[in-house]
Amino acid sequence: MGAKKIVILEIQDKSIKGYCTVSGKKKCKIEALDSSCYPHQVSAQDISDFFKKLINKFKYDKVIISFTRRFFLIRFLSLPSQNWSEVRRMLPFQMAKGIIQPLEDVVYDYSLAVSEKGHSKMLIYITQKKKISNVLEFIEAGKVLPFSITNSSWGLYQWYMFRSGFFKQKPIGSNAVIDVGSNDSEFLIASEDGILFSRSFHCLSDDDLLEGINQSLRIFEKEYGARSFNKAIFTGVRKDKVIESITWAQCVFLDQLDNFFFSKGVREKINDSGTSFASGLGLAVTKNYGFDFSPPVLKERKQSLKKRKRNVQLVILVVEIMVILSLFFGKYVFNRYVYLDFLNSKLQKVNIEVKELGTVTEKLKVLDKELDKSVSFSRVLYNVVSSVPLNVQLSLVDFREKGDFSIKGYAQNNEDVFAIKKLLGESGLFSSVGVKYVAKVKGRKGQEGFEFYMEGKVIQ
C-alpha cells in the first residue's frame, strides 16, 4: 500500500494550526504547515478558509481534528469491576449522576487509567456540544467528514510515545510531560498504560508556568495520592529557569522537532512561531487516534460511509470473480448455481457480517432470475467463451441495452476470427453476428497477429 496523506487541524479558542502529512511504513513527513490567530473566537468560516488554504494542491486520504485541552473537563470514575464490557455498560449511568448537563448535550470519551483491587478507574473527557459547534458547522457546510475528532492531550501523549519509541526506551512508571506554549501550557501525567491525568493553563511568565505545574500536581495527588515520578519531560518553548527549579523529578528538555521529517521550510516556520506544535506532531506519527469526540450524528454518518465503502468493495470483488470465471473456468463454473456456490465460498473469506453475505447472495440470485427472463446471462457468457480458440485473446466483451453486444480481441490468424463468428451464429442465442473489421498488427515481440472487432444482437 502507498503512503497515506493526512490533514490535521488543531482548533484552539482563537487560533488554528494545520498540518499536511505523508505517512509511510517507515517514516512520517510533514509536507506543509500553517497557523493563524484571530481577534475573535474561531468560527466555522475561519476553519473553512484555513482548511482550503492548507490543502491547496494537497490531496488527502483522511482528516483528523484535534481540540485544545481547554475545551474539556475531566472526570474520574471508579467502577466496581475489571471486566471491560461491564465497565462500558455501567459508565453512562454513573456519568449521568456526576455531570450537570444531560448526556445528549455533551460529547465525551474515556480510557482506563488504573485497574486494581477489583476496580477500574476511568479517565473521562467531556465537552459541551456548543463548544465545538464551529467544527460541526464546518463539517456540515464543507462536506468534510473527519476520520477522528480528538484532543491535544492525546496528541501530546502520542508525541511522548514516539520519542520513547525512537530511543527504544519503554516508558517506566509515571512521567510528567509539560508542553510549554507561548500563552498556554499543558501538563500531562503518562504511564506505560496510558494517560492518567491532564490539565491546561494560561502562562505568560515563568512564575505562571511554575505555579500552573504545582497546581496540576496538587490536583493529581488529590485524586491518586502522592506518587513518585520517573521524569519530568519539557518540550515546546524552552524555560531553563523553571526546569532548573523542579525538584520532584529528574527533568529533561526534549526539542519538539527532533526525529521528525519536514519538507523544506517547515522546520524554520515552526521555530519562528515561538510556540509548541508537539501535540499535532504526535497525531501526525500515530496510527492510533484514541479518543473520539464525534457526536452521535457524525458517528452514524461515518458508519453509513463505511458500509457503503464495504458494499463497493463487495461489488468490485464480485466483478473480479466474474471476470476470472469467464476467462478461466468456462462452462463448468458458469452454471449459475455452481457459480453462486463458488461465490459464497469466496465471499466467506471476507471479514464481514454473515447477514450481509446472505443479502448479497440473494440479490445476485434475483439478478440472475431477471436476466433469465430473456436469455440466461450464464449461457451467453458460456457461448462467447467457449467459441474462442486457445490462440485467441479477448480484450472486450460488452453487453448493452436492447441486447446489443460487441467483442474485441486478437487472433494469430484470420480464419480463427471467422470461426468465432460462425460458432456464435450457430449457438441460437444471437440474431446477428457481424465482423466489423480485421486488421493485421504486430505484437510486443514483433510477431504478427490480427486485431478484430465484431458486433451482434442477442435474441430477446
Domain limit, last residue, from 378, 397, 430: 378
Asked if the structure places residue 121 within a domain, the reply is: no
Residues 244 and 167 in one domain: yes
Query: Are the CB atoms for 399 and 380 separated by under 8 Å?
Result: yes
Strand partners, 396: 408
pLDDT average, residue stretch 405-412: 84
Residues 187 and 274 in one domain: yes
Asked if the structure places residue 88 within a domain, the reply is: no
Do 392 and 342 have their domain in common? no
Can you list the positions of beta strands (E) in 55-98? Answer: 62-67, 73-79
Structural domain harbouring 242: 4-70+132-294
330 plus 222 within the same structural domain: no
Q: Express each pLDDT in 240-291 by its tens digit.
A: 999 999 999 999 999 999 889 999 999 999 988 889 999 999 999 888 888 8
Please answer whether residues 54 and 7 qualify as being in contact, where contact means their C-beta atoms are separated by less than 8 angstroms. Answer: yes
Q: Are strands 231-236 and 175-180 parallel, antiparallel or unpaired?
A: parallel
* Extended beta strands in 216-298, E state: 231-236, 250-253, 261-262
Closest CA to 191 of 301, 266, 116, 299: 116
One domain for residues 351 and 269: no
Does residue 247 share a domain with residue 176?
A: yes
Cell (9 digits) for 73: 473537563
Residue 231 included in any domain: yes
Average pLDDT for 333-358 = 55
Domain boundary, last residue among 333, 350, 378 = 378
CATH of residue 393:
3.30.30
Answer whether residue 174 is part of any domain. Answer: yes
- Domain CATH for 154: 3.30.420.40
Task: Name the nearest CA neighbour of 81 among 111, 44, 51, 122.
Answer: 122
pLDDT tens-digit map of 353-378? 455 555 656 665 655 555 555 445 55
> Tens digit of pLDDT for each residue in 223-245?
888 888 889 999 999 999 999 99
Task: Identify whether 209 is part of a domain.
Answer: yes
Q: What is the largest CA-CA distance in the chain?
A: 96
Residue 60 lies in a domain: yes
Q: Is the dihedral of CA 248, 249, 253, 259 positive or negative?
A: negative
Share of the chain above pLDDT 90, in %: 35
pLDDT value of position 379: 64
Question: Residue 331's pLDDT band (boundaries 50, 70, 90)?
Answer: very low
Q: What is the pLDDT of residue 415?
A: 83
pLDDT category at 345 given cuts 50, 70, 90 is low
Give the number of domains in the chain: 3
Average pLDDT estimate for 71-82 = 90
| pTM recorded for the entire structure | 0.66
Same domain membership, residue 178 and residue 48: yes
Cα distances (angstroms) measured from residue 248 to each of 244, 347, 391: 11, 59, 82
**pLDDT: which is higher, 181 or 303:** 181
Closest CA to 414 of 384, 437, 444, 381: 437
Q: What is the pLDDT of residue 287?
A: 84
Reported confidence tier of residue 315, pLDDT bands at 50, 70, 90 = low
Torsion (CA) 299, 304, 307, 309 in degrees, nearest 10: -100
> Are 285 and 198 members of one domain?
yes
Do 287 and 318 lie in a common domain? no
- The Cα–Cα gap between 425 and 433 comes to 6
Do 407 and 278 belong together in one domain? no
Element housing 216 (H / E): helix 206-224
Cα–Cα dist 13/248, whole Å: 32
371 and 261 within one domain: no
- Model confidence band, residue 175 (pLDDT cutoffs 50, 70, 90): very high
Residue 109 lies in a domain: no
Q: Are residues 285 and 334 in the same domain?
A: no
What pLDDT band is residue 300 in, cutting at 50, 70 and 90? confident
Examine residue 90 and state whether it is found in any structural domain, yes or no: no
